[in-house]
Structure 1
Amino acid sequence: MMLTMLWLLSVLMASVILASSPSRGETNDQVAVPSHKGLYFGYGSNLWRTQMEQRCPTSEFLGIARLDGYRWIINKRGYANVVQFNLTDPHTGYPTNDTTDNDVVWGAVYYLNKQEEAKLDREEHVPWAYTKEYMPVKFWPKNTREPSIKDLPMLVYIDRKRVVPGKPRKEYLYRMNMAIRDALQERIPRKYVDKYLRKYIQEDWWRCDNPWRYPCNI
Structure 2
Amino acid sequence: MLSNTNLQPTERHTQPPIPTPLITKPPQYPKYLYFAYGSNLSPAQMKTRCRINPTHSATPLAIATLQHWRWLICESGYANVLPPPSLRVANQDSETAHKIPVSGPEDAVYGVLYQMDIGDEMILDGYEGVDEEAANAGVRDGVPVSVRPRVQGDGSYNKWFVEADVTKWLDGEGVRAGLENKGKVPVLVYVDENCVGMSKPKFEYIARMNRAIRESVDLGVPMGWVEGVMRKFIPE
Number of equivalences: 157
What TM-score results when the alignment is normalised by the length of structure 1? 0.67
Matched, 1:108 2:85: no
SS of corresponding position for 1:36:
coil
2:158 touches 2:192 (CA, 8 Å); kept in 1?
A: yes
Aligned to 1:117: 121
How does 1:138-153 map onto structure 2 within 5 Å?
138-139=165-166, 140-143=168-171, 148-153=181-186
What TM-score results when the alignment is normalised by the length of structure 2? 0.62
Matched, 1:133 2:160: yes
Rg larger in structure? 1
Task: Please list every run of 5 or more consecutive structure 2 residues that lacks an aligned counterpart in the other structure.
Answer: 1-28, 87-102, 132-154, 173-179
1:74 touches 1:200 (CA, 8 Å); kept in 2?
A: yes
* Runs of 4+ with deviation above 3 angstroms: 147-150
Aligned to 2:31: 37
Q: 2:202 and 2:214 mapped to 1: Cα distance?
A: 19
In structure 2, relative to structure 1, the CA distance for the partners of 1:79 and 1:102 (3 Å cut) is farther
Matched, 1:156 2:155: no
SS of corresponding position for 2:210:
helix
Aligned to 1:52: 46
How does 1:56-71 map onto structure 2 within 5 Å?
56-57=50-51, 58=53, 59=57, 60-71=59-70
One-letter code of the match for 2:191?
I
**1:141-163 Cα deviation digits (max 9, x unpaired):** 1037xx94441110100011111
Cα offset for 1:86?
Answer: 3.8
Percent of paired sites with the same residue: 38
In structure 2, relative to structure 1, the CA distance for the partners of 1:112 and 1:159 (3 Å cut) is same
Cα offset for 1:36?
Answer: 3.2
Task: Please list every run of 5 or more consecutive structure 1 residues that lacks an aligned counterpart in the other structure.
Answer: 1-34, 88-98, 204-218
